């Protein structure tokens, strides 16, 4: 194969990843419906002709909202999955996880964001550009939601210095990308106060898309928890690069964090695919450990574990349909 063909093959691989993100609603076998109802719903922004809302779930009455040393539990912002073309902040599939977090004393904020790929039928390199735009639209909306929470922090009982962002699949891409943009002083982060940083990031099958010839942080990122299946073919577990363009999954992000001395936990689910994106409830112990040890207690402990957990079902068979998971047609 000559050099031109090799380069074209790399381009097609990158485009294939872009196309795969469009299908990120497949194989989320872990999700189960629950009964969580928000304690309040607020419009946090209006973008064009679209109103964006957030649901707030307060900790259960009587739950412990601080640890034994008095460290307060963070607010957890959540961004849903759906390939940037579908999904809902209040899908019943998330309720069981929301219930578990609020029972453990955490406030949850589930947000809308604009779906930049909704109705898109572009192909090839144009699709990559559309995905890049869709990711950054979602990031901008996350920053707008954060701005709303900071402005109303007293009324909503939120500590501005104690906010963790989390997301599933497309939402995981958005939260990882958001912290990357914040660390690198991106103009889209200018709506947030100077010096603002998230307390942490939790990504369920996420990645970062860059055009920077690599994965580089100008200032240290927030502590991150990465949960990813080692066989994920929807949101790449490793990396795919072509010249300056790269999509970096959990494995590559962890390697960069380790090299630079940044704080991270990564749980690598051996033999699992993209179903890990929907296993928020089943992976709750890993999340609570990260939140309690690395965020609340400020521990610098790094965890890099490969897990074969029989409690988490394989993505083969029994997966729900796109409509069941994300709504729509």
Q: What is the pLDDT of residue 159?
A: 97
pLDDT (mean) for 265-288:
95
Greatest mean pLDDT range, 33-37, 146-150, 212-216: 146-150
pLDDT > 70 in the chain, percent:
83
| Predicted local distance difference test score (pLDDT) of residue 318 | 29
Q: What is the pLDDT of residue 30?
A: 67
The dihedrals phi and psi of 252, each to the nearest 5 degrees, come to -70, -40
Average pLDDT over residues 81-109: 96
Vertex 289: Cα angle to 267 and 40 (nearest 5): 105
pLDDT class for 283, splitting at 50, 70, 90?
very high
Q: What is the pLDDT of residue 32?
A: 56
Q: Which fold has domain 3-326?
A: Rossmann fold (3.40.50)
**pLDDT-based confidence at residue 243 (cuts at 50, 70, 90):** confident
222 or 29: whose pLDDT is higher? 222
Give the pLDDT mean for 2-24.
50
Residue 62 CB partners (closer than 8 Å, separation 6+): none
Q: What percent of the chain has pLDDT over 90?
A: 72
Query: What are the CA-CA distances from residue 46 to residues 50, 79, 112, 144, 177 (Å)?
Result: 6, 17, 11, 10, 22
pLDDT in tens, 296-314: 999 999 999 999 888 787 7
Whole-Å CA distances, 2 to 8, 9, 216, 240: 10, 11, 31, 20
Q: What is the pLDDT of residue 43?
A: 97
pLDDT in tens, 151-181: 999 999 999 999 999 999 999 999 999 999 9
Mean pLDDT, residues 229-247 taken together: 90
Q: Where are the domains of the chain?
A: 3-326
Work out the mean pLDDT of the chain and round it to a whole number. Answer: 87
Is the predicted pLDDT of residue 23 greater than 80, yes or no? no
Q: What are phi and psi of 19, to 5 degrees?
A: -65, -35
Q: Above 60 in pLDDT, residue 35?
A: yes
């Amino acid at each position: 194969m000559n050099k031109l063909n090799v380069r074209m093959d790399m381009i097609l691989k990158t485009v294939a990843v872009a196309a795969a993100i469009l299908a990120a609603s497949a194989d989320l076998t872990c999700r189960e419906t629950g009964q969580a109802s928000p304690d309040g719903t607020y419009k946090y922004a209006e973008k064009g002709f679209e109103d964006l809302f957030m649901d707030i779930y307060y900790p259960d009455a009587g739950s412990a909202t601080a640890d034994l040393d008095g460290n307060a539990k963070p607010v957890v912002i959540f961004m849903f999955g759906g390939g940037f073309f579908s999904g809902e902040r209040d899908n019943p599939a998330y309720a069981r996880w929301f219930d578990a977090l609020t029972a453990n004393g955490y406030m949850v904020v589930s947000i809308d964001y604009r779906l930049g790929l909704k109705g898109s039928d572009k192909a090839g390199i144009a699709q990559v550009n559309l995905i890049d735009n869709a990711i950054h639209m979602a990031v901008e909306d996350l920053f707008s939601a954060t701005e709303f929470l900071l402005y109303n922090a007293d009324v909503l009982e939120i500590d501005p210095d104690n906010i963790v962002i989390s997301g599933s699949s497309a939402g995981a891409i958005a939260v990882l990308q958001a912290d990357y943009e914040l660390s690198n002083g991106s103009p889209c982060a200018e709506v947030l106060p100077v010096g603002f940083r998230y307390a942490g990031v939790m990504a369920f099958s996420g990645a970062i898309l860059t055009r920077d010839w690599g994965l580089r942080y100008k200032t240290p990122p927030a502590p991150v928890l990465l949960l990813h299946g080692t066989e994920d073919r929807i949101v790449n577990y490793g990396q795919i690069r072509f010249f300056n363009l790269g999509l970096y999954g959990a494995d590559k992000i962890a390697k960069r964090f380790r090299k630079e001395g940044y704080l991270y936990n990564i749980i690598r689910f051996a033999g699992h695919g993209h179903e890990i994106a929907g296993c928020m409830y089943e992976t709750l112990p890993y999340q609570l450990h990260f939140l309690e040890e690395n965020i609340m207690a400020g521990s610098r402990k790094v965890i890099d574990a490969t897990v074969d957990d029989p409690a988490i079902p394989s993505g083969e068979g029994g997966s729900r349909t796109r409509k069941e998971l994300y709504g729509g047609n």
